[in-house]
Every structure is written in C-alpha cells, then in structure tokens.
Amino acid sequence: MKKIVSIALVLMMVFALATATFSAEEAVQSPGKILTITVVPVGDGTATATPDKVELANPKENTPTVTLSATDGKDPFTKWDLHCEYDIISGDLNSKTLVIRPYTDITAYAVFGENKNVPGDKDATSPKTGYPVAMAAMAIVVAMGLGIFAVKKVSE
C-alpha cells in the first residue's frame, strides 16, 4: 500500500510541476516602480525621450506617456525598435515622433538609414523559441509510462 501511495504522490508532483512550467506568466510590475527610458540612436541621427523616467501607476493605464523624438542626421530616420511592454498613444513605429505609455523599462532604438539592425540583431526574423505543445505531450507520455510501470510493479 505504501508503494501505491508513494507512486501516486510522485505522479501528482510530476503533473503539478509540468502544469506550473507551461502556464507560468511574466512577472507583473508593481505600481510606484520608476520606469527608465533609454534611447539609443542606430546610424547617424539623434533621438530623445521626454521624460526619461516615469512612475508606473495603478491602474497601469494611468501611467504617464513618453514622447520619443528622432531628428535626421546624415542618415534619414527609418523606424523605432522598442524593447518593452507599451501601448502606442499617437504616431507609429515609422514616424519621427511617437507617444507611448510604457509598462516596463524601455530601450528605444531609433534606426537611421537603410539596412541597419539594432545591437544584438543579426537577422530580421525572430528565432523559434520552442515547442510547448510537444513538451507538454512528452511530459504526459512520460508520466503515463511511469504510471503503467508502477502498476505492473505493484501487481507482481
């Protein structure tokens, strides 16, 4: 009887850990956190953010907006590449002036000229990040195999 209970507990733990792994969400930012805005020009041009820090509000839709502005240099402005969670209030990623409401710290790359990639970008396409459905199916198959093995072992 002890073997059956211990095997059942192991199987429950496997399912619980697998479920937590596949259903985990991104951490929620807390209200009052000061968000930092970093602007990096890529190419020959200048870019600014006004203001350069904002306080995350509760609800987050009340967080102040940030205006990103780009000025052409030798290269014409091409686009904004934003690394953060945000909503666009006015403009778009191809306009020189963009107003956003940030929800996380921002790194805003102002891209000037053609065929320029932001630092760390080697390719214009995103890499594959995994196969969560296949991983879940594999965990289920392994758990079922362990269950069948346990039942056979107990019945011997």
Residues 93 and 145 both lie in one domain: no
22 in a structural domain: no
Q: 3-state SS of 67-89?
A: EEEEEECCCCEEEEEEECCEEEE
Residue-level pLDDT at 108: 92
Residues 43 and 73 both lie in one domain: yes
Let me know: does 80 contact 107? Beta carbons within 8 Å.
no
Residues 142 and 94 both lie in one domain: no
Within 8 A by CB and 6+ apart from 114, the residues are 78
Residue-level pLDDT at 70: 94
Within 8 A by CB and 6+ apart from 17, the residues are none
What pLDDT tens digit does each residue of the chain (156 aa) get? Answer: 778 877 877 777 777 666 555 544 445 567 788 889 999 999 899 999 999 898 888 877 788 999 999 999 888 999 999 988 899 999 999 999 999 998 889 899 999 988 766 665 555 555 555 566 767 777 788 888 777 877 777 777
What is d(CA 38, CA 2) in angstroms, rounded to the nearest whole number? Answer: 59
Residue-level pLDDT at 58: 80
Residues 39 and 106 both lie in one domain: yes
64 in a structural domain: yes
pTM given for the model: 0.59
Residues 106 and 70 both lie in one domain: yes
What is d(CA 45, CA 22) in angstroms, rounded to the nearest whole number? Answer: 43
61 in a structural domain: yes
Q: How many domains does the chain have?
A: 2
Structural domain harbouring 42? 34-112
Residue-level pLDDT at 126: 55
104 in a structural domain: yes
Residues 90 and 42 both lie in one domain: yes
Residue-level pLDDT at 125: 56
